[in-house]
Amino acid sequence: MTDTNPLWVPSAERIAQSPMTQFMQWCADRYASSFANYDSFHRWSVDEPEAFWSAVWAYCGVIGEPGSRVLIERGDMLKARFFPDAELNFAENLLIRSGPEDAIIFRGEDKADERWSWDRLSEEVSRLQQALSDKGIAPGDRIAAMMPNMPQTVALMLAATSLGAVWSSCSPDFGEQGVLDRFGQIGPKLFIACDGYWYNGKRQEVVGKAKAVAEKLGVTLLLVPYAGSAADADRTDEPGLVRYDDFIRAYRGRKLRYSRQPFNHPLYILFSSGTTGVPKCIVHSAGGTLLQHLKEHRFHCELKEGERLFYFTTCGWMMWNWLVTGLASGATLCLYDGSPFAPDGNALFDYAEKEQFAVFGTSAKYIDAVRKAGLEPGKTHDLSALRLVTSTGSPLSPEGFSFVYDSIKSDIQLASISGGTDIVSCFVLGNPVKAVWKGEIQGPGLGLAVDVWDDAGQSVHGEKGELVCTAPFPCQPIMFWNDADGEKYRAAYFSRFQNVWCHGDFAEWTAHGGLIIHGRSDATLNPGGVRIGTAEIYNQVDTIDEVLEALCIGQDWDGDVRVVLFVRLKEGVALGDALTARIKNRIRTGASPRHVPAKIIAVADIPRTKSGKIVELAVRDVVHGRPVKNKEALANPEALSYFENIAVLQSL
């Protein structure tokens, strides 16, 4: 980056009062060490993992027995185990408060507005816990849910995990086959679904799909009311279906009981996007997930008891799992379900103003959409309580950084974060005691030996390479489901470098100790043998007002690869010679001549996953005449048709 000044610098007073600084000092006192700054503290956290992760457990007050050992088989990332003698329960560590204060606030577009106190949440979890237990749910059983981001979903997850059951969820907009592709692999003992949901002001029916899925899974369907259904008119008993109210009717709230399990007991099964085949079933541990989230929330996000924590997410994205752990810090969860532009683009900022969000989490695509819609939330809303905006899902462009400071709030920490489903958390993220630089992620997370390596396995700075982690960490997946010998697991993360996690991101260290993610490694372009990250091109195209969205691929051509850029334009805009030339010139001057696409093509829509990520690999397959193996993973699979048999791609 050419900017000589940071966008934001924490004041000396803020640094002194930061939970990050306080934890750093606590560790220094406890372990007779001295840390000159965050960088030295991070090095210690990586060099002394036993001390560091013990400190996280103790300082955050984890409920459970840590055991006598902290880390075994440290030298082998596949065999390493943290807290092998520990016992804990995930739900017990989230239901830490009681009283009438808000635990959950829920808004469903403009159709629902609801609040649950800590007491109500505990009572609901207790009733569900009893009902699940009486249905025979036991430790290790899988519970699968196709649910909106609503309070009942959180309560069901807590009830299931309080018993030691394993939770897995997706959003209700998945098609029947997409749901079966996921849950059909894990053999759930119970399937939970809503009766319907709203999106962009329209009610979407779910009951028929949910019944079909439950029948094919061979399990009971637990139907949760939300949007209402024609089926509600017929309250007769149906084989294999039980309604939520009936499920818990016989039970009253009582003191919760928790089944404490080993640190590496399965907690969640998350799924890869599945656009290149059947989704991988990624199993995460209760202990690793809890410790990692506590570290990120308490120190990297400075989350405090009673603060409002919001993330715009569905239950099919790992950010939902990340969000709900906010309860473990005593925060109030602010849930939203539906379109972020219903009834208009101010919906989420209206919510933020009313509830006084402290943390506003969203995607880079959402920030870009708000920018291109011409909104200025900082001028139209009271965001005085907002202190942190986090962005993920794809790299946030430099223009996105500028927009947040120019049009949302000037005195705020903006944290671009990156990690993913694979670790249900972040490798690189925000840091409240360091400056924010335009276009950069602030740095690596505590306890994570993050680096950037070239093809030869050498650490590189100021050059693009593979994002890696060179030492074990607690939130590594336990395994993939149905991968008994671990072959798929090893192939996914350890086939590139021996005994080193290769994450699949194309990254670069900056002069400020931050990182830039240039896109996924498997989507990088290679024209003339030069590796180019797609994000480098998107960052330039984002500055063109007429372009709403872009997708870039490498097309095999004449023994080489040529860069092809697809653009979705504003309504009424045509891709003429002048606009094409302006896009190319912007890419040439902002990136390099090698980045300039050989072809620029306008399309009506761009395919994306349910969590909003564009699918470069699927488009590349379509352009090359290869089948897309799992269209069910896409939110708009019909968009793939716009990339078939494009005449201009068959010629120079």
- 337 near 114, Cβ under 8 Å? no
636-643: list long-range contacts, CB under 8 Å, 24+ apart: 636/605, 636/607, 636/608, 637/607, 638/605, 639/603, 639/604, 639/605, 639/606, 639/607, 640/607, 642/603, 642/604, 642/605, 643/566, 643/603, 643/619
Do the domains spanning 102-262 and 527-650 agree at the CATH topology level?
no
Give the pLDDT confidence score for residue 594 in this predicted structure. Answer: 83
- The pair of structure tokens assigned to 139 is 């430790």
CA gap 358, 387 in Å, rounded: 6
Give the pLDDT confidence score for residue 652 in this predicted structure. Answer: 79
Residue bearing tokens 């440290």: 74
Element (DSSP H or E) covering residue 25: helix 19-30
- β-strand partners of 167: 143, 268
Q: Is the pLDDT of residue 46 over 90?
A: yes
CATH architecture type of domain 527-650: 2-Layer Sandwich (3.30)
Give the pLDDT confidence score for residue 2 in this predicted structure. Answer: 52
For residue 123, give the DSSP letter: H
pLDDT tens figures, 308-331: 999 999 999 999 999 999 999 999
- Give the CA dihedral 16, 19, 24, 27, nearest 10 degrees: 130
Can you name the CATH fold of 102-262? Rossmann fold (3.40.50)
Q: Is the dihedral of CA 498, 501, 504, 505 positive or negative?
A: negative
pLDDT tens figures, 356-375: 999 999 999 899 999 999 99
- The pair of structure tokens assigned to 182 is 């996921």
Which CATH number is 12-87+267-518 given? 3.40.50.12780
Give the pLDDT confidence score for residue 235 in this predicted structure. Answer: 55
CA gap 191, 169 in Å, rounded: 10
pLDDT tens figures, 139-176: 999 999 999 999 999 999 999 999 999 999 999 998 89
In sequence order, the 6+-apart residues with CB closer than 8 A to the CB of 236 are: none
In the chain, the amino acid numbered 185 is Q
Each domain of the chain, given as residue ranges in start order, spans 12-87+267-518, 102-262, 527-650
Q: How confident is the model at residue 612 (pLDDT cuts 50, 70, 90)?
A: confident
Averaged pLDDT of the chain: 94
Q: How confident is the model at residue 233 (pLDDT cuts 50, 70, 90)?
A: very low
- The pair of structure tokens assigned to 154 is 């959180």
Backbone angles phi, psi at 549, to 5 degrees: -160, 150
